[in-house]
Amino acid sequence: MNATTANDNPAGTLTQGHKKVIFASSLGTVFEWYDFYLYGSLAAIIAKQFFSGVNETSAFIFALLAFAAGFAVRPFGAIFFGRIGDLVGRKYTFLITIVIMGISTFLVGVLPSYASIGIAAPIILIVLRLLQGLALGGEYGGAATYVAEHAPNGKRGLYTSFIQTTATVGLLLSLIVILGVRTVLGVEAFEAWGWRIPFLLSVILLGVSVWIRLQLAESPLFQQMKAEGKQSKAPLTESFFSANGKIVLLALLGATAGQAVVWYAGQFYAMYFLTQSLKVDPTTTWLLIGGALAIGTPFFVFFGWLSDKIGRKGIVMAGCLIAALTYMPLFKALTHFANPAVEEARISAPAVVHADPDTCSFQFDPVGKKVFNNSCDIIAAALAKAGVPYTVQPLPAGSVARVDVGNVQVSGYEGAGLSKEDSKARADAFGGELKAALGAGGYPEKADPARINKPMVLLILTVLVIYVTMVYGPIAAWLVELFPTRIRYTSMSLPYHIGNGWFGGFLPTISFALVAATGNMYFGLWYPILIALMTFVIGTLFLRETKDVDITK
């Protein structure tokens, strides 16, 4: 296929060649997202398997941080593989990335736990996550660029929207596989060893994806540019240390940062919120999230198609603004419909921690060296683990903290200086008193399945996914059209992966750390709200509309 046949298509018909390009690129990208999100979906189990050397609150946040580590290095993968893609070609670059991703994922499935090899387990796990992140950093830009450079003018939004479905389809596929294995093996066996099976199955998907991608030809625009000798000799310099660098920065702050937080808030944070804050059982959560993803996925294509008609910018900006304005009421509605007992107990028997504020720590210690054993930290950790929102009232310096649950008062204790036996005895006594007080106040240990309004929860989750499709469906076409062919792979990959890798990837970690620190179960939402509003303002004022740009020129 040459540049003329690929792009000079006035009718914009979807030819057999176009379908092959879209299918092969999308299937490989689905596989990469499947691999990447297995970890996110199993974060709670992975926390127990690989981070059991720290306290439970830190273990879960640390597991999320390891998840985010894969996102942290995505920009470096974008720079490294983007440069290769602009120098050597699109096809072979994102063929390499899929192999790296597949091997890293398979190795997670055979990695011994913390109980077997100690601190080496989480270290190796993080190394594998970093390799996954590097691979994904090179994958997306290559796939989006490859498809866009095959698309006819006036159809790039539609064509690239199929690539945009891959992240959600990959997440949905991971949930289906997890649910299937968990159902067959049972909960106990799945959490003990069965969680490894979805990772091991990825080697089959890897083989299929590599075989399909080997059948593809190079991008016609890249072939033409190479034949004419117009390739960039220094893609990094041209992309970031020239006038183009300003566009890269604006694309990050005015497009991808907001798109990223809306994506992760609407899918991953919602999933964690249901399981960790509202205590909805994992199977019900995965089914509801999966249902919302299935309903919402066609809207990626719809908004991609619509962006060809009315423009990319307006749709993405509208998605950021609407999400920012409605996140608070939507997540409060999730509480109301998923676990109303939390809402009722919070009103009838509010939990109030009385403590010296100077003794209340931000309870996150990634290296597991610090011991949170003062009375305020002991109470706060217990309430966070129970999913109970609380407020803090100050006491004079040196006071021992206590918690009031409605009219019931539970005294805390100082853990410093206690022997191991005394510490356990005091913890057991305190835990028993707190559990009784929370029970008397109406706080449930788990969400009551009979009280979960599943249709309403599904509706709310679907709305959150539709926000995702608004910001994500048109973004690939918008980014492709902002940059010239000779540096397109490098230029579009970096803002996309800084936005999604850093602003989006760290969202669960940052948001849950904020919740644990404040006791306010909704406080973590301020992070995606503020980032989405920033993007709305910058994108509206400083980024241009690109739907009529001809990238063949």
DSSP for 381-414 reads HHHHHHT--EEEEE--TTPPPEEEETTEEEE---
Instruction: Name the band, by pLDDT with cuts 50, 70 and 90, for residue 423.
Output: confident
Q: Indicate whether 118 pLDDT > 60.
A: yes
Q: Are residues 491 and 368 in the same domain?
A: no
pLDDT higher at 516 or 135: 135
- Whether 66 and 160 share a structural domain: yes
More confident residue, 329 or 13: 329
Regarding whether 462 and 424 lie in a shared domain, the answer is no
pLDDT on residue 254: 97
Give the Å distances, CA to CA, from 507 to 72, 83, 326, 412, 548: 12, 28, 18, 32, 34
Res 290 pLDDT > 80: yes
CB atoms within 10 A of CB 437: 20
The tokens for 5 are 């046949």
In terms of domains, do 321 and 262 share one? Answer: yes
User: How does pLDDT run across 241-264, given as a tens digit for each residue?
Assistant: 888 889 999 999 999 999 999 998
Q: What is the pLDDT of residues 316-374, one digit of tens each?
A: 999 999 999 999 999 999 999 999 999 899 899 999 999 988 888 765 554 455 677 88
Number of domains in the chain: 2
Residue 132 lies in a domain: yes
Q: Is-contact 309 155, C-beta < 8 A?
A: no
The answer to whether residue 9 sits within a structural domain is no
pLDDT > 90 in the chain, percent: 36
The pLDDT confidence band at residue 511, using thresholds 50, 70 and 90, is confident
- What is the Cα–Cα distance from 163 to 206, expressed in whole angstroms? 18
Confidence of residue 55 (pLDDT cuts 50, 70, 90): low
pLDDT in the model for residue 5: 37
Domain shared by 241 and 378, yes or no: no
CB 323 within 8 A of CB 467: yes
Which of 58-67, 328-337, 486-495 is predicted most confidently?
328-337
Domain termination site, one of 423, 441, 459: 441
Taking residues 387-406, what's their average pLDDT? 91
Tell me whether residue 231 is exposed, middle or buried, using C-beta atoms within 10 angstroms of its C-beta: 0 to 12, 13 to 18, 19 or more: middle
Q: Which residue has the tokens 């740009």?
A: 549
| 234 and 157 assigned to the same domain | yes
Same domain, 493 and 401: no
Do 424 and 457 lie in one domain? The reply is no
The pLDDT value given to residue 97: 84
Find the mean pLDDT for residues 435-458: 94
pLDDT for position 28: 65
Q: Can you tell me the mean pLDDT for 146-161?
A: 84
Q: What is the CATH number of the domain that holds 376?
A: 3.40.30
**308 Cβ contact partners less than 8 Å away, ≥ 6 residues apart:** 154, 155, 156, 157, 158, 477, 547
**pLDDT average, residue stretch 393-407:** 92
Q: What is the domain-level CATH number for residue 333?
A: 1.20.1250.20
The phi-psi region of residue 405 (left if phi > 0; otherwise alpha if psi is between -120 and 50; otherwise beta) is beta
* Residue 7 included in any domain: no
Q: Which of 466 and 19 is assigned the larger pLDDT?
A: 466
The pLDDT value recorded for residue 12 is 46
- Say if 551 falls within a structural domain: no
* Residue 487: both structure tokens together: 């540096």
Residue 307 is predicted with a pLDDT of 96
Q: Which residue has the tokens 């109301």?
A: 336
Question: Which position has the higher pLDDT, 540 or 169?
Answer: 540
User: Range with the lowest mean pLDDT among 101-110, 142-151, 327-336, 443-452?
Assistant: 142-151
Mean of the per-residue pLDDT values for the chain?
Answer: 84
pLDDT band at 8 (very low <50, low <70, confident <90, very high): very low
Range 293-303 average pLDDT: 93
Q: Containing domain of residue 351, as a range? A: 347-441
pLDDT band at 469 (very low <50, low <70, confident <90, very high): very high
Q: What is the pTM of this model?
A: 0.81
* 418/497 same-domain check: no
Among 105-114, 128-137, 167-176, 534-543, the range with the most confident prediction by mean pLDDT is 534-543
Question: Residue 78 above 90 pLDDT?
Answer: no
Residue 385 has pLDDT above 90, yes or no: no
Are both 302 and 167 inside the same structural domain? yes
**What is the average pLDDT across 390-411?**
92
pLDDT band at 1 (very low <50, low <70, confident <90, very high): very low
Query: Tens digits of per-residue pLDDT, 529-545?
Result: 999 999 999 999 999 99
Packed helices 56-72 and 375-386: angle between N→C axes, nearest 10 degrees: 70
Average pLDDT over residues 516-540: 92
pLDDT at 18 over 70: no
pLDDT at 77 over 80: yes
Q: Compute the average pLDDT of residues 219-232.
A: 66
Nearest to 505 by CA among 176, 40, 108: 40
5 within some domain: no
Question: CA–CA separation, 55 vs 41, rounded Å?
Answer: 21
Burial class (CB in 10 A: 0-12, 13-18, 19+), 344: middle
Residue range 154-177: average pLDDT?
A: 86
Has residue 453 got a pLDDT over 60? yes
Q: Is residue 309 part of a domain?
A: yes
pLDDT class for 496, splitting at 50, 70, 90?
Answer: confident
- Examine the fold and report which residue of 387, 409, 441 is the final residue of a domain before the chain moves on: 441
Domain-terminating residue out of 413, 441, 469: 441
Query: 11 in a domain, yes or no?
Result: no
- The residue with greater pLDDT, 381 or 265, is 265
Q: Does one domain contain both 391 and 524? A: no
Residue 241 lies in a domain: yes
Indicate if 192 and 57 belong to the same structural domain: yes
Which of 227-231, 481-485, 520-524 shows the lowest per-residue confidence on average (mean pLDDT)?
227-231
